[in-house]
Amino acid sequence: MKRLLSEAEKTTIYNEIRQYLADELEIDPEKIQEDTNIIDDLGGDSILFLEMFEEFKTKYQIDLEVRTIGQYMLNHPVYTFKETVNAIFDIIEKGEDLIGQESN
């Protein structure tokens, strides 16, 4: 299943991710900039990424195993807010094809 997110949808998801991080880390969303490192700058941790991916997978009804996301992250390191947003865009748009050609 593939889908293409419109710019409007991307803006909505961008803001949802920012708000999710702000809620979980109990900080002002304004503190989260695109180059903000979620672990080093905001006190996040690796479990937070797993929780976040699960949250957005469920919300956007993506049928995808977390281990596939783990494989994806081997080639697409996710540390900053911008990298996180791009990863979630990829997860929603590519779904189970997330690592399709990359794994071959």
Partner 1 sequence: MARKATDFFPESDVAVTGVGMITPLGISAPECWENMLLGRSGIRPITKFDVSECPVKIGGQLPESYDLLEKSMIHKRTFKQTVTSTRIAMICASEAIKDSRLEINAVDSRRCAVIFGTTGSSVRTLAEHVDGPDKFKIIREMFNAAAARISMDFGFKGYSFTISAGSESGTCAIAKAYDLIRHNMADVVIACGADTLLTANFLRRLKAFQCLCRNTPDPGHAIKPFDKNRSGFAVSDGGCAVVLESIRSANQRNADIYAIMSGYGNISQFSVHQPDTAMTRSMELAVNQSGISKEKIGYINANGTGTTTNDLSETRAIKTVFGNQAHDLLISAHKSMIGHTFSASGVIGFAVAAKSLKSGMIPPTINYETPDPLCDLNYVPNEMIGSDNGAAIVNSFGLTGHYFSLVLKSSEH
Residue 23 or 65: the one with the smaller Cβ distance to partner 1 is 23
Residues listed for the chain: 104
Residue 63 Cβ vs partner 1, minimum distance, rounded to whole Å = 22
Report the distance separating Cα 79 and Cα 11, nearest Å: 20
Residue 26 Cβ vs partner 1, minimum distance, rounded to whole Å = 4
Residue 42 or 98: the one with the smaller Cβ distance to partner 1 is 42
Judged by CB under 8 A, which of 43, 65, 66, 102 binds partner 1?
Answer: 43
Q: Does 26 bind partner 1 (CB under 8 A)?
A: yes
Report the distance separating Cα 77 and Cα 43, nearest Å: 18
Residue 26 or 63: the one with the smaller Cβ distance to partner 1 is 26
Judged by CB under 8 A, which of 36, 44, 62, 95 binds partner 1?
Answer: 44
Which residues, 6 or more positions from 81, have their beta carbon under 8 angstroms from its beta carbon? Answer: 17, 18, 21, 32, 33, 34, 35, 36, 38
Residue 42 or 62: the one with the smaller Cβ distance to partner 1 is 42
- Measured on CA atoms in the order 59, 62, 67, 69, is the torsion positive or negative? negative
